[in-house]
C-alpha cells in the first residue's frame, strides 16, 4: 500500500500558504539530504565508504521521491478543486527540481570517484585489493542509479502522456470536431493563442477563463516533463559511459588477477616439483651414504682379517721366537 508522504512534500497552512522543499545544499540543516560528503584526497577507504553510503542514501531518496511524484501527478489529474490541483502542480515542479538536483549530484560524485579510480589504477598494481573494491562499488552503484533513473524516466513519460490526453479532452470539450493537426499544435506550441481562440467562443466568460487556465497549466506541466526528459537523456549518457569505463577497469583487474592466479598456480606446481626433487636428491644422498658405510664396513672387515690380523699374528710369532731364543741362550 503506498505511503502518504504529503507532509514531507509540502507544508501548507489552512490558507494554502507554502513552505515547501528545502534547497538542496551542503548547508541544509537536514543532513539526511546532504550527499556532498567531502572528497577523497588520500584515497582513504574510510572516506570512500562514507561517500559511497551517502550516494546510496541519495539513490534511495530518488526512488522514494519518484513514488511520491507518481502519486502527485495522479492527484493533479484527478482533483476536482483548482486550488488542490495548483498545489499539487507546484509540489510536482519542486519535487522534479529536487530529484534533478540529487541525481546531478550523484552523477558528479560517481564521475569523480570513477576518475579517482582511474588515477589510482595508474599508480598501483591492477590486482590491488583496494582498487578492486572501489571499482566494483562504483560499477554496482552506477548500475543501480541507472535503474532508478530509468524508473523515474518511465514515470515521467507516463505522466506526460496522461497530461497530453487530459489536455486533448479539455480542448475537445469546446471543439469536439478538432482535427489531429490542431491537437499536434496544441501539444507542440505554447498553446495560448490556439486555446484562447477556441475557448473564448464559450458564452460564459468565467467558464472560459477557468478552462483556459486549467489547460494552460496542463500544457506547462507537459513542457516541464519534456525538459526533465531531455536532462535525463544527458544523465543516461554520462552514467552509461561511466559504467563502460568501470566495466573495462573491472575486466582488466580480473584479467590481471587471473594471470596472477595462473602464475601462482604455476609457481606452486614448480615449488612442489622442486620439493619433490629435493626429497629425491636427499634420498639418493642417504642411499649413497649408507652404501659408502657398508663398503667401508666390508673394507674394514677385510682389512682386519687379511691384513691386520695376519700382521699381528706374524708379529706375535716373531716375539715368541725371540723370547725362546733368549731363554735358550740364558740356559746355556
Domain of 58: which CATH number? 1.20.58.70
Number of domains in the chain: 1
Contact partners, residue 25, CB within 8 Å, separation at least 6? 34
Residue 295 lies in a domain: no
Q: What is the pTM of this model?
A: 0.53
Phi/psi class of residue 104: alpha, beta or left (left: φ > 0; alpha: ψ in -120 to 50)?
alpha
Residue 314 lies in a domain: no
Residue 258 lies in a domain: no
Predicted confidence at residue 28, as pLDDT, reads 40
- How much of the chain exceeds pLDDT 90, in percent? 7
Does the pLDDT at position 236 exceed 50?
A: yes
Give the model's confidence band at 134: pLDDT under 50 very low, under 70 low, under 90 confident, else very high.
confident
Does the pLDDT at position 5 exceed 60?
A: no
- Helical segments of the chain, H only: 6-9, 45-78, 82-121, 129-174, 180-188, 192-199, 205-303, 309-331
Does the pLDDT at position 204 exceed 70?
A: no
- How much of the chain exceeds pLDDT 70, in percent? 54
Does the pLDDT at position 211 exceed 80?
A: no
Q: Report whether 171 contacts 186 (CB < 8 A).
A: yes
Residue 216 lies in a domain: yes
Q: Report whether 139 contacts 243 (CB < 8 A).
A: yes
pLDDT 10s digits, 246-271:
666 555 555 555 555 665 666 667 77
Q: Cα separation of 105 and 41, whole Å?
A: 19
Residue 196 lies in a domain: yes
Does the pLDDT at position 8 exceed 50?
A: no
Cα radius of gyration (the chain): 46
Domain with 75, as residue range(s), is 6-252
Residue 318 lies in a domain: no
Buried-state track 72-105, b at ≥16 Cβ within 10 A, e below 16:
bbebbbeeeeeeebbbbbbbbbebbebbbbbbeb
Residue 173 lies in a domain: yes
pLDDT 10s digits, 49-105:
999 999 999 999 999 999 998 898 888 878 777 677 778 888 888 888 898 899 889
Residue 84 lies in a domain: yes
Amino acid at each position: 500500500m503506498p505511503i502518504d508522504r504529503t507532509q514531507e512534500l509540502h507544508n501548507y497552512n489552512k490558507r494554502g500558504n507554502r513552505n515547501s522543499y528545502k534547497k538542496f545544499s551542503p548547508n541544509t540543516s537536514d543532513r539526511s539530504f546532504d550527499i556532498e560528503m567531502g572528497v577523497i584526497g588520500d584515497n582513504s577507504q574510510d572516506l570512500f565508504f562514507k561517500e559511497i553510503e551517502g550516494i546510496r542514501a541519495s539513490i534511495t531518496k530518488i526512488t522514494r521521491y519518484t513514488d511520491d511524484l507518481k502519486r502527485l501527478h495522479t492527484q493533479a489529474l484527478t482533483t476536482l478543486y483548482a486550488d488542490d490541483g495548483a498545489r499539487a502542480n507546484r509540489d510536482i515542479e519542486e519535487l522534479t527540481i529536487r530529484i534533478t538536483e540529487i541525481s546531478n549530484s550523484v552523477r558528479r560524485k560517481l564521475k569523480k570517484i570513477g576518475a579517482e579510480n582511474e588515477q589510482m589504477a595508474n599508480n598501483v598494481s591492477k590486482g590491488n585489493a583496494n582498487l578492486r573494491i572501489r571499482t566494483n562499488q562504483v560499477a554496482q552503484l552506477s548500475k543501480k542509479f541507472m535503474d532508478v533513473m530509468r524508473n523515474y524516466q518511465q514515470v515521467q513519460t507516463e505522466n506526460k502522456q496522461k497530461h497530453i490526453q487530459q489536455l486533448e479532452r479539455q480542448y475537445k470539450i469546446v471543439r469536439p470536431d478538432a482535427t489531429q493537426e490542431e491537437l499536434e499544435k496544441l501539444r507542440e506550441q505554447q498553446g495560448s493563442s490556439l486555446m484562447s481562440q477556441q475557448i473564448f467562443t464559450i458564452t460564459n466568460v468565467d467558464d472560459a477563463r477557468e478552462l483556459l487556465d486549467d489547460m494552460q497549466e496542463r500544457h506547462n506541466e507537459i513542457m516541464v516533463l519534456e525538459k526533465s526528459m531531455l536532462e535525463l537523456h544527458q544523465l543516461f549518457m554520462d552514467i552509461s559511459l561511466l559504467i563502460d569505463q568501470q566495466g573495462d577497469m573491472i575486466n582488466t583487474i580480473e584479467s590481471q588477477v587471473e594471470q596472477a592466479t595462473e602464475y601462482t598456480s604455476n609457481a606452486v606446481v614448480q615449488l612442489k616439483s622442486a620439493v619433490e626433487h629435493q626429497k629425491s636428491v636427499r634420498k639418493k644422498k642417504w642411499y649413497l651414504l649408507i652404501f659408502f658405510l657398508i663398503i667401508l664396513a666390508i673394507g674394514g672387515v677385510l682389512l682386519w682379517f687379511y691384513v691386520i690380523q695376519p700382521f699381528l699374528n706374524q708379529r706375535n710369532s716373531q716375539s715368541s721366537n725371540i723370547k725362546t731364543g733368549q731363554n735358550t741362550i740364558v740356559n746355556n
